[in-house]
């Protein structure tokens, strides 16, 4: 109950809380399972953004995959997965072993115009040649 109230307060003031990103991340993480589906999806989006802003890419990837499994029609999680894949490959970093094709294909099905899905597909196809 406290997490729900704290989450709502933090969410209402998110633009004023740059220096409290760790607190916000922890509250969102603990509360994404306590809400109804619509609120949970909304908090998941905020949580993924915080993880991205903090450059916690491995956790972000795991949580984005979890979000995609819970909300398969939501494109935000797929966009983060593709974005991380692109950035890590462009930087020459090792990327965790996942089948990226399932994610960019799913994103393209949901949004035919998705630039990040198209770039991810191009990077993947170039990489496997």
CATH number at residue 104: 1.25.40.10
Q: How far is CA 5 from the centre of its chain?
A: 23
Query: What does pLDDT average to over the chain?
Result: 82
To the nearest 10 degrees (0 to 180), the angle between helices 37-53 and 21-31 is 150
Q: State the Cα angle at 75 between 119 and 73, rounded to 5°.
A: 135
Indicate the pLDDT class of residue 11, thresholds 50, 70 and 90. low
Q: What is this structure's pTM?
A: 0.77
Do the Cβ atoms of 64 and 81 come closer than 8 Å? yes
CA 114/CA 81 separation, integer angstroms: 13
**Residue 71, domain extent:** 1-128
Do the Cβ atoms of 103 and 82 come closer than 8 Å? yes
- Model confidence at 1: pLDDT above 80: no
Query: Three-class SS of residue 97?
Result: coil
**How many domains would you assign to the chain?**
1
CA 83/CA 61 separation, integer angstroms: 10
What does the block give as tokens for 45? Answer: 């989006």
């Amino acid at each position: 109950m406290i997490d729900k109230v704290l989450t709502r307060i933090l969410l209402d003031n998110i633009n004023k809380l740059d220096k409290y990103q760790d607190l916000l991340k922890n509250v969102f993480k603990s509360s994404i399972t306590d809400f109804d589906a619509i609120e949970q999806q909304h908090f998941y989006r905020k949580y993924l953004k915080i993880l991205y802003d903090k450059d916690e890419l491995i956790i972000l990837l795991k949580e984005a995959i979890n979000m995609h499994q819970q909300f398969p029609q939501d494109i935000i999680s797929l966009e983060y997965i593709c974005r991380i894949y692109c950035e890590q490959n462009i930087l020459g970093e090792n990327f965790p072993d996942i089948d990226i094709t399932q994610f960019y294909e799913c994103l393209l099905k949901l949004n035919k115009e998705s630039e990040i899905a198209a770039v991810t597909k191009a990077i993947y196809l170039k990489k496997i040649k």
